[in-house]
Amino acid sequence: MSELVDKYADIRPYNDDEVAASVERLINDNAFLDVLAKYNLPRFLSTIPLVARFLVKRQLQKKWGDVRSVEQVQQEVAYYLEMLVKRTTSEVTFSGLDQLDPNQSYLFISNHRDIVLDPALVNWGLFSHNMKTVRIAIGDNLLQIPYITELMRLNKSFIVKRSAKAPKEMLKALSQLSAYIYDSLNEGHSIWIAQKEGRAKDGFDQTDPALLKMLQLQGRKQKKEFAEYIRELKIVPVSISYQYEPCAIAKAKELYHKQHHGKYVKSAGEDIASIVEGFSTAKGHVHLAFGQPVTQECDSPEQLAKTIDKQIVDSFFLHPGNYIAGGCKQAVIDKQDVQAFEQRLARVPEELRSLVSAMYAKPFHRKTEINNDELCK
């Protein structure tokens, strides 16, 4: 292992020579086998652990036993992602990828609506256009379960140490992260990172300047001006738009709880439940708009955040539900769309209905505000 790799050993994804051992750990992880059994075997079998584990383990050995490289893992992930797209979406569309250089590494910064699907669908777009898949930033709050850690690091994910609290410890973790992103880009590996910590549960997509300050830490070490360093990173904003908001009711419950009780504490396993729900429920039409690399003279994190936000909001694909919730039921939306959206909203618990509606309305209103434009004519 090179000195460069060792420097990031605690946060980086697995290398080829670590894949086989990781796969072996997964195949022998009873908790992982139980989860697969629950969602893939008939109920009467999944309730008999010894039988269920034996069947799942045998299938995994047959399917994954010969996987020895990161590229093979990516091929397997692409296979499962294709099945997921066919099963849970009406279509997934992309724009802007034809404007990007397939031989260039980019730092993709996207809005964040689903824990795993957002970067997975970014990768699906790149994979479908014969471009290299990204290394994915993922918070250590999601890595409390060993098999999740294995799966994420096998799938080119690197760890963001959100649990660091002491100022010195936090600075050290952020500096390591900043350097890792910079070195990855220089070595030809594109990166995906969300525009802020946590999903936009209220539908308000906004870049956190703190993220951009973290990116600049390595630039400061190199004594480079902010604008110069940012141009080197080749930041590409990505706008992800789901026809049916993933985990909408769960997000609304969290917002409702905060409004009425001041804070919300996640229960054990809640993030895993959100990942499963995001994967398994219908998403309708999903559109990913890849923007242009940021080349403007942005002299501060706040200015850069506004530049990224403008691209994300401008290119956000508005679905019928966004127009309807935003108060636009005119010519752009037909009666069938209105009826379907209102039926979907009627299934939401009454106390959460206004919050879910606002989730869909926010992108419509923001697009109107940021462009000073009238979208409903």
Residue bearing the bigger pLDDT, 264 or 257? 257
Residue 184's pLDDT band (cuts 50, 70, 90):
very high
Question: In whole angstroms, what is the distance from residue 31 CA to residue 361 CA?
Answer: 40
pLDDT (0 to 100) of residue 2: 47
pLDDT at position 330, please?
Answer: 65
Q: How many percent of the chain have pLDDT more than 70?
A: 96
Give the model's pLDDT for residue 61.
95
DSSP 11-73: TSPPPHHHHHHHHHHHHT-HHHHHHHHHHHS-HHHHTSHHHHHHHHHHHHHHHHTT--SHHHH
**Chain segment 99-139, per-residue pLDDT in tens:** 999 999 999 999 999 999 999 999 999 999 999 999 999 99
Average pLDDT over residues 165-180: 95
332 — alpha (psi -120 to 50), left (phi > 0) or beta?
Answer: alpha
For residue 290, the SS3 value is strand
Tell whether the model's pLDDT for residue 336 goes beyond 50: yes
pLDDT band for 332, please (50, 70, 90 cuts): low
Q: Per-residue pLDDT for 331 more than 80?
A: no
**Residues whose CB is less than 8 angstroms from the CB of residue 187 and which lie 6 or more positions away in sequence, other chains included:** 105
> Which tens digit of pLDDT belongs to each residue from 56-105?
999 999 999 999 999 999 999 999 899 999 999 999 999 999 999 999 99
pLDDT at residue 274 greater than cutoff 80: yes
pLDDT confidence tier of residue 312, bands split at 50, 70 and 90: very high
Structure confidence at residue 142 as a pLDDT band (50, 70, 90): confident
Segment 255-266 shows an average pLDDT of 88
Report whether pLDDT(145) > 70.
Answer: yes
What is the pLDDT confidence band of residue 373, given thresholds at 50, 70 and 90?
Answer: low
Task: Select from 69, 83, 171, 165 the least CA-distant residue to 120.
Answer: 83
Q: Mean pLDDT of all residues in the chain?
A: 92
**Residue type at 1 in one-letter notation:** M
Give residue 341's pLDDT: 92
> CA-to-CA distance for 210 and 196, rounded, in angstroms?
8
CB within 8 A of 338, min separation 6: which ones?
A: 320, 324, 329
pLDDT at 226: 96
pLDDT tens-digit readout, 221-238: 999 999 999 999 999 999
Task: Report residue 114 CA to chain centroid gap.
Answer: 6
Token pair in block for residue 19: 């894949």
Straight-line distance from the first to the last Cα atom of the chain, in angstroms, rounded to the nearest whole number: 61
